[in-house]
Structure 1
């Protein structure tokens, strides 16, 4: 009697590499503009393999990318801003350096902005609103820890989100990442010089 051993083939591409490639396409093309061919090409997978990993197609892909980016932001920005074990100034500077890293010094498009265009807002409203709220809440906590009133801390947090998103758009339009770098500097001054 012979025994059969079923061996699963190892994945050719690890999840982090796969999701980073998919994020690049979605960020540059948006949900509507990204084709499955482009997504497959960026992932290094054939379309059939992409569907195997994401049976729900493009929507599952976008949700996986949002979760991937969200986990990175939680770990590197949200948790840092809310960590009361560290001085507020250190938390701010660390978070700003990670924001700079996330957006490649102002050269990358924000996936949240890209997925908020066209039908993406309808499909991912809950996730997008949750991400923005987390960002605002974390910067509000930082502002309170820097002795701002609740109202001023919330206003500053909204200003941060507006400056980051706006500077990314303008940096892309002018092909000048210094616009983004300038916004990061303005955020630092806003918090540290009150």
Structure 2
């Protein structure tokens, strides 16, 4: 078997970049091909079901990354809850390149994408809420307070990414992450 010239992780990074920038409907096969370094035929060979399979692969890849880096940081009982929260917020900054990247949920929920990926987006957001609720409980919040705080985290992160892009000021995202930490640790 001939070795693959383009590694799967590089393909996923290229696909992610295009879907984040263009959304599902806006991403053309030409752009996806160019971003991955593969010809269209090779891209279809890897993803026989086309663009939807590519977006599914991106969602699965990012879901795995979030689980391994953010959620694992939040649940790692080898560290005290304050450190776990700080580590997770650092990983969130990495995920969104300090506020420079668009959330894949937002990008894929525009136009026809929401119908195709609604279940995955819902699951992803539910997982975020659950993980942040658990860290809230570990920080001695009541379950109700922890649940409210988790929802606010999701709103703050998503909202700050949009405002950061709209105003071209990444300090907004950085300040949001600092505020999340402050709000959890100073109750």
TM-score by length of 1: 0.95
Aligned position for 2:133: 140
What's the CA shift string for 1:67-95, capped at 9, x where partnerless? 11110000000121122232100100000
Quick check: 1:93 aligned with 2:86? Answer: yes
Structure 1 segments, 4+ long, off by >3 Å, are none
- Consecutive unaligned residues of structure 2, counting only runs of 5 or more, are none
Q: Which residue of 1 aligns with 2:116?
A: 123
Residue 86 of structure 1 aligns to a residue in which SS? coil
Looking at structure 1, the residues matched to 49 and 135 of structure 2 have their Cα atoms a distance apart, in angstroms, of 39
- 2:25 aligned partner: 32
Give the 3-state SS of the residue equivalent to 2:38 in structure 1: coil
Question: Is 1:111 paired with 2:104?
Answer: yes
Q: Secondary structure at the match of 1:11?
A: coil
2:50 aligns to what? 57
Structure with larger Rg: 1
Q: What is the deviation of 1:181? A: 0.6
- Aligned partner (choices 9, 17, 31) of residue 16 of structure 1: 9
- 1:42 deviates by 0.2
2:161 to 161, 165, 168: 168
Question: In structure 1, what is the Cα distance between the partners aligned to 2:8 and 2:184?
Answer: 37
Cα offsets for 1:84-110 (capped at 9, x unmatched): 232100100000000001100001111
Aligned residue-pair number: 187
CA distance in 2, matches of 1:27, 1:174: 18
- For residue 75 of structure 2, what is the aligned residue in structure 1? 82
CA shift at 1:148, angstroms?
0.4
Question: In the TM superposition, what is the alpha-carbon distance from 1:143 to its structure 2 partner?
Answer: 0.2
2:38 matches 1:45:
yes
* 1:152-175 deviation digits (Å, cap 9, x = unpaired): 000000000100000000000011
Deviates more, 1:156-165 or 1:74-83: 74-83
1:126 & 1:11 partners in 2: Cα distance? Answer: 32
